[in-house]
Every structure is written in C-alpha cells, then in structure tokens.
C-alpha cells in the first residue's frame, strides 16, 4: 500500500486516467455514417494507427508510473509523485487534442448528403495532388467544412498540437462554396500547399527571389513582395495548373471584397493583395494555357475594381510597381526547375495537355454535359471541364450544381464499392488442404 494519503490519491487518479483512456474508441466503432461517406482506406488506416499508437504510448507511461509508485516511489515525496503525475495528465490531454482534430473531420461524415460530398472531395483532392512524374509519395487527404469564406490545410507530416506529425492532410473547405465548381479553386489551392511542401518549392524559390530583389534596382520593393507572398502564390499556380480557369473564377469569388480590403497591403499577410492576386492568377493561366479568356477576366477585374485615387498614394505606387513585374515574375515561376522535379520546369510538370481550354471545351462538347460521360475521367479533370463550361456560359449555375453533386456522389460510391470488393476478395477463406496419406 502507498505510504501516504498523497500516494494513495495519485494512484487512484492514475488508474482513473487509464479508465478514461480505455473509453477512447477507434472512429470505426462509434461514428455513424453511410459507407460512401467514409474516409478512404489509406486515410482511415493512417489516422487510426496514429491515434492507437498515441494511446498505447500513454497507457505504457501510466503503467510505468503505477509500477514506480508501488515500488521506488513509495519513498518519494508527495511533491515528486504529483510532479510525475502532472506530466501524465498533460500527455493525456495531448492524446485527446489529437483525437479531436480528426473527430472534427470525421463527425461531419454523418451529415445527410454532406458526408458523401466530402468523401467525393477527398477523391478530387488526392487526384489533384498526383503528378505524372511520380516525384513523391502522396499522403492521404481528407476534407471537412467550416464557416467563413477561406479554406485552409493542416498538411500531412506537420506538427500537431502537443507534438507528433499528422498522418494525413486535413483540408478545411468553406461551407458557403458547396457545391459549385468554385469549390475546386479553394480545394486545389490547399492541395497546392501540400504539393509545394513535398517538392520543397518555397524553400527553393525564396533565395532565387531574394537575389532577384537585390538585383532589381528601383523595382526591389516589388520583388520583395513576391518573396513574401511566394507560399500562397505557388499554391495558386498549382490550382491553375490542375483546374484551369476554374481556379481564377473561383478565386474571384473569394477576393471580391469591399475596396478597402481588395487594395490592402499587409506586411504580415502571406497572401498577395487581392487585387494583384487575381491579375496574377490570370497571368499564370495565360502562361500555362494561352487563351483570350484570361485577358477578358483581367479586364473585368479592372472594371469591378479600378485602381484610382481613392487608394492611398503609397499603396497605389507599390501596387503599380508589383503589377509591372507580373510578366517577369510569371516567367521566372513557370520556368523554375526545382531539384525534386528532376530537370523539369514547374510549367512542364503542372501543365497536362488535357487541361488546355480548347481541349476542355472539346471534351465538354463531346460529353454534351452528360454525367455518364464525365464520371470516369480523372476527378480534377472533370472539375476543370465543368468549370470551363461555366466560365464560357455553356453551362448554367443550376446545371453545374446538379452535375457536380452527381459526380461527387458517384466518386464516393465507386470508391466505397471498390474498397468493399477488394476487402471481400482478400477475406475469402482458402479451401482446406487435402488430408495427407
């Protein structure tokens, strides 16, 4: 028995902690959702394995504490016994915080319709992360909805609260964008952050931009801004490369704000000034997929938000200077050859032939907008085709919404059935061996 009331009390607390820990069950045992709304098998497995390992590690720590408490710890002071228990409780809260990070994602899968659409978006995201060159091993991705108009990502292999690396990428999608082709702009932008990290694009580009700024003379402030904004810019570049004009029209919906915000320059914000960001998106589109549509979008943006005297003179000068350097910056970005691309430029790696506007329009015409003709394409390509049709006015907003809901539902269901068929095949009982002799 413990030698003091403090020893006894803390032993009880440690055992109670073990009891509570045992009540944290795998998501597969307590989250109710239709099968089509489930995470992909790699994502589910990665999350469950990660959380289970955290629980096992904590349980082992608590059991070691109890062994110590009943052995050498009998002679320890109450202060020392309490100090060791406090660290265990803090670790328990870390385990709970990691559980809650993924619970926020998985709980929404039980919402009627929404859960299935999210499963479909998981598939779009994972497709948008794949590049033909096989430059990296892509982690699983999962999506969830949140209030507000901005998307975000907790990248795979980055630190979770309290320590440890996330086993999957978690993408937050604005609920107000469900469901239209504009969702692809936000989704694939966030995918671009994950892709850029896997290719180490920001780390490779930053020194190049710093050198360019040092050599730019009177244009140095503009190049300093490009260096500051590069992490968000490469994600926009990824989005334009994967879904074409859908990225730029979707971005227009995000940055259509009161004028004070559209022309605001914030030295602490990694996002480009919204007015410049839209023009840059169009310029990247024109570099990747030449077409008159990009000039039309830029002209429209200038009509919606003319740069005039109501913008403060210092901001107007800097914005004008940065705008002047957009062509040079886009050439540098598109032609950049990071080591992980094995000699290819960003444009070469990110510009599949089937995403050119003429090809997208041709595929739309050939499909006649029929769900059955689009459902078997790569999901990011299907979004690019639908978004191009919407931008061209050959698809109505109402038709777009219906078509995308059908596509997301189909991709989620197909993935579920393929997984079920695979599992059924793997689990068949092998015939018994014939008796010997």
Predicted structure pTM score: 0.86
Structure confidence at residue 424 (pLDDT): 45
Mean pLDDT of the chain: 88
Q: Which residues contact 137 (CB under 8 A, 6 or more apart)?
A: none
Structure confidence at residue 32 (pLDDT): 62
Structure confidence at residue 37 (pLDDT): 77
Q: Is the pLDDT of residue 92 over 60?
A: yes
Torsion angle of the four alpha carbons 201, 203, 205, 211, in this order, in degrees rounded to the nearest 10? -170
| CB-based contacts of 55-63 (< 8 A; 24+ apart in sequence) | 55/21, 55/24, 55/95, 58/21, 58/88, 58/91, 58/92, 58/95, 59/18, 59/21, 61/88, 61/91, 62/14, 62/17, 62/18, 62/21, 62/88, 63/18
SS3 assignment, position 45: helix
Query: pLDDT tens digit string along 14-35?
Result: 888 888 888 787 776 665 666 7
Q: Identify the burial level of 230 via C-beta atoms within 10 angstroms of its C-beta, where 0-12 means exposed, 13-18 middle and 19 or more buried.
A: buried
Average pLDDT rounded to a whole number, residues 215-228: 95
Q: Is the pLDDT of residue 41 over 90?
A: no
Question: Beta 169-174 vs 152-154: how paired, if at all?
Answer: antiparallel
- Estimate the crossing angle of helix 220-243 against helix 114-129, to 10 degrees: 110
- Distance, in Å, from the CA atom of 171 to the CA atom of 327, rounded to the nearest integer, reads 31
> Which residue in 232, 280, 114 sits closest to 183, CA to CA?
114
Average pLDDT rounded to a whole number, residues 45-50: 87
Q: Is the pLDDT of residue 389 over 70?
A: yes
CA atoms in the 13 A half-sphere facing the CB of 373: 11
Query: pLDDT tens digit string along 325-359?
Result: 999 999 999 999 999 999 999 999 987 788 999 99
Query: pLDDT tens digit string along 163-218?
Result: 888 999 999 988 877 767 678 999 999 999 999 999 999 999 999 999 999 999 99
- Count other C-beta atoms under 10 Å from residue 106's C-beta: 23
Residue 293 token pair: 């549509």
- Distance, in Å, from the CA atom of 390 to the CA atom of 395, rounded to the nearest integer, reads 5
Residue 22 token pair: 């045992």
- Residue for token digits 């700024």? 213
Average pLDDT rounded to a whole number, residues 123-143: 92
Average pLDDT rounded to a whole number, residues 393-410: 92
Q: What percent of the chain has pLDDT over 90?
A: 56
- Distance, in Å, from the CA atom of 235 to the CA atom of 157, rounded to the nearest integer, reads 18
Task: Identify whether 392 is preceded by a cis peptide bond (ω within 30 of 0).
Answer: no
């Amino acid at each position: 028995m413990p030698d003091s009331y403090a020893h006894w009390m803390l032993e009880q607390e440690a055992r109670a902690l073990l009891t509570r820990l045992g009540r944290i069950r795998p998501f597969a045992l307590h989250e109710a959702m239709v099968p089509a709304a489930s995470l992909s098998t790699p994502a589910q497995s990665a999350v469950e394995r990660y959380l289970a390992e955290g629980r096992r590690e904590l349980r082992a720590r608590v059991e070691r504490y109890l062994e110590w408490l009943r052995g050498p710890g009998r002679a320890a002071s109450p202060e020392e016994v309490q100090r060791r228990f406090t660290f265990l409780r803090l670790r328990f809260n870390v385990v709970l915080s990691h559980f809650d990070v993924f619970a926020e994602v998985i709980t929404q899968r039980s919402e009627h319709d929404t859960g299935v659409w999210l499963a479909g978006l998981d598939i779009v995201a994972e497709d948008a992360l794949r590049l033909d060159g096989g430059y990296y091993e892509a982690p699983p991705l999962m999506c969830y909805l949140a209030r507000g108009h901005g998307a975000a990502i907790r990248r795979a292999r980055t630190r979770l609260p309290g320590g440890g690396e996330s086993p999957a990428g978690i993408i937050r999608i604005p609920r107000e964008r469900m469901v239209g082709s504009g969702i692809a702009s936000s989704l694939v932008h966030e995918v671009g952050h994950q892709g850029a990290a896997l290719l180490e694009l920001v780390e490779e580009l930053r020194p190049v931009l710093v050198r360019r700024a040092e050599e730019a003379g009177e244009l140095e402030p503009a190049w300093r801004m490009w260096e500051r904004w590069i992490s968000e810019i490469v994600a926009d570049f990824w989005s334009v490369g994967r879904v074409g004009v859908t990225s730029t029209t979707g971005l227009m919906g995000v940055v259509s704000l009161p004028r004070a915000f559209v022309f605001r320059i914030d030295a602490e914000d990694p996002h480009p000034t919204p007015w410049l960001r839209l023009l840059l998106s169009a310029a990247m589109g024109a570099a990747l997929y030449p077409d008159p549509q990009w000039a039309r979008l830029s002209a429209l943006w200038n009509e919606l938000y003319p740069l005039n005297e109501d913008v403060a003179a210092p901001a107007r000068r800097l914005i004008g200077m940065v705008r002047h350097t957009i062509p040079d910056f886009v050439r540098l970005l598109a032609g950049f050859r990071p080591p992980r691309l094995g000699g290819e430029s960003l444009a070469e790696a990110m510009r599949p032939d089937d995403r050119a506007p003429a090809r997208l329009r041709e595929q739309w015409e050939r499909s006649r907008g029929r769900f059955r003709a689009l459902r078997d394409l790569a999901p990011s390509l299907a979004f690019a085709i639908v978004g191009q049709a919407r931008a061209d006015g050959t698809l109505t907003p109402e038709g777009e919404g219906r078509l995308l809901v059908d596509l997301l539902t189909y991709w989620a269901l197909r993935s579920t059935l393929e997984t079920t068929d695979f599992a059924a095949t793997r689990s068949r009982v092998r015939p018994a061996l014939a008796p010997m002799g």
